[in-house]
């Protein structure tokens, strides 16, 4: 359920909500915060905000939370109306488009004025929020893909352990794909399948991001192999037709050998799969240690009437103290190095499997892919994905699909 909560000083909540927007904007002591589907942390945010207000007397904080499908449209509407929230929690690559369009404040000067703050965070996760050599977000909580595997199915198929190469991945999938069982699944939104491409040396665009680079013989061979494995039942078709619930649910059923997904999938799958325990489920890096991140970060709207106070609130919410609390309560990682160490320690004894899953998120962070800083990321996805899907589902041969994708992506790039 969407929430709109006002945490205030001196004014009744109802009065604040009823106050006209132009009057609210005049208060340089008011900060509004928009978060992404995290209403369950109301108690934590109240503590954070109360502490912040003690250090900053007279400050009023308005908290709004929206579900994922609703937040982008809501923020865009507020931008047009001139009432954008001061602080916004953004997931995935949406921030790049807003940064390129001038909606987000360049945080680089703030980082330069406080280098100790920047050093608190994993530099690879921090660098994923850079566009045009400018910094736009501070990590809130982070995740990247890994490879889950069903140890029982591996044992039944005579497999000694998870695959180390792409060839081994397909061979393992084929060995487990018998009858109603299949060998491999992947989440496919937000480029989460791109590690399959990267481990085969395939790039989406040229280094300057101006031209497609994926239409190669190696890519055609890869898509052909994926299509054949899908047709043979080694790869579950839901890998290419589902989004979140379907592939995670299929893996939770215990009839799929491997799942490429990010760390958040563990808690979804565990909730549905009674078979899951440390003896039956493994968590490791995908072949080549490649992964695709899907991170949340806090940005400041360029239109904020008090950007210094807004950034101070971002620093407060991502500090060691509060990042640690979030990591422990929600069992996520925050990219705050000290907080993540404490968060991992708290889960280690209680849930060793969750510990193993979360540990992968701190390893090989220098080998993340599919997180290009593209202002037209959504349009490129829409141009590329349908043709990739056509190829792996056997609707088109690989060369034709890649050629059609190249033309579609080129059109997008020319318009930008």
In terms of Cα–Cα distance, which of 265, 270, 328, 271 is closest to 291?
Answer: 265
Quote the tokens at residue 228.
């054949």
335: left (phi over 0), alpha (psi -120 to 50) or beta: left
pTM (two decimals): 0.90
Q: What was the pLDDT predicted at 28?
A: 63
Q: What was the pLDDT predicted at 253?
A: 97
Whether domain 145-292+376-415 has CATH 3.40.50.450: no
Give the sign of the dihedral formed by CA 153, CA 246, CA 2, CA 23: positive
Distance from chain centroid for Cα 28: 33
Q: What was the pLDDT predicted at 416?
A: 76
In terms of Cα–Cα distance, which of 393, 370, 369, 384 is closest to 223?
Answer: 393
CA distance 355 to 361: 10
* Low-confidence residues of the chain: pLDDT under 50: 1-27
Assess contact for 250 and 180: CB atoms under 8 A: no
Assess contact for 203 and 183: CB atoms under 8 A: no
Q: How many CA atoms lie within 13 A of 32 on its CB side?
A: 22
Q: What was the pLDDT predicted at 12?
A: 32
Assess contact for 342 and 268: CB atoms under 8 A: no
Total residues belonging to the chain: 416
Assess contact for 358 and 263: CB atoms under 8 A: yes
Q: What is the CATH number of domain 3-142+295-353?
A: 3.40.190.10
- Chain region(s) in the chain for CATH 3.40.190.10: 3-142+295-353, 145-292+376-415
In terms of Cα–Cα distance, which of 93, 365, 92, 372 is closest to 205?
Answer: 372
């Amino acid at each position: 359920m969407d929430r709109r909560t006002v945490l205030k000083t001196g004014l009744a909540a109802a009065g604040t909500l009823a106050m006209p927007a132009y009057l609210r904007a005049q208060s340089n002591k008011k900060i509004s915060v928009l978060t992404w589907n995290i209403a369950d942390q109301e108690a934590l945010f109240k503590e954070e905000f109360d502490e912040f207000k003690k250090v900053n007397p007279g400050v009023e904080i308005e908290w709004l939370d929206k579900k994922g499908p609703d937040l982008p449209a809501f923020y865009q509407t507020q931008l047009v109306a001139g009432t954008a929230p001061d602080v916004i929690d953004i997931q995935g690559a949406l921030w790049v488009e807003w940064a390129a369009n001038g909606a987000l404040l360049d945080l680089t000067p703030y980082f330069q004025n406080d280098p100790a703050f920047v050093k608190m965070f994993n530099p690879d996760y921090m660098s994923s929020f850079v566009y045009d050599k400018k910094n736009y977000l501070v990590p809130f909580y982070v995740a990247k893909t890994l490879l889950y595997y069903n140890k029982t199915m591996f044992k039944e198929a005579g497999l000694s352990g998870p695959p180390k190469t792409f060839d081994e991945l397909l061979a393992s999938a084929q060995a487990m794909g018998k009858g109603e069982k299949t060998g491999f699944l992947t989440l496919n939104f937000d480029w989460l399948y791109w590690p399959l491409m990267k481990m085969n040396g395939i790039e989406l665009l040229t280094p300057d991001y101006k031209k497609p680079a994926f239409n190669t013989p190696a890519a055609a061979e890869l898509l052909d192999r994926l299509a054949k494995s899908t047709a043979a039942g080694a790869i579950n078709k839901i890998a290419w037709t589902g989004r979140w619930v379907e592939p995670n649910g299929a893996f939770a059923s215990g009839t799929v050998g491997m799942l490429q997904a990010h760390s958040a999938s563990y808690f979804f799958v565990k909730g549905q799969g009674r078979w899951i325990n440390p003896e039956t489920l493994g968590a490791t890096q995908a072949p080549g240690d490649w992964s695709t991140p899907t991170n949340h970060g806090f940005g400041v709207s360029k239109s904020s009437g008090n950007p210094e106070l807004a950034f101070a609130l971002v620093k407060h919410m991502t500090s060691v103290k509060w990042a640690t609390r979030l990591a422990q309560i929600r069992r996520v990682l925050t990219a705050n190095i000290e907080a993540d160490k404490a968060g991992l320690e708290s889960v280690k004894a209680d849930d060793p499997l969750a510990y193993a899953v979360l540990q992968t998120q701190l390893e090989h962070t220098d080998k993340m892919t599919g997180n290009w800083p593209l202002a037209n990321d959504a349009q490129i996805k829409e141009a590329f994905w349908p043709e990739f899907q056509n190829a792996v589902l056997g609707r088109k041969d690989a060369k034709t699909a890649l050629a059609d994708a190249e033309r579609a992506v080129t059109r997008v790039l020319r318009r930008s």
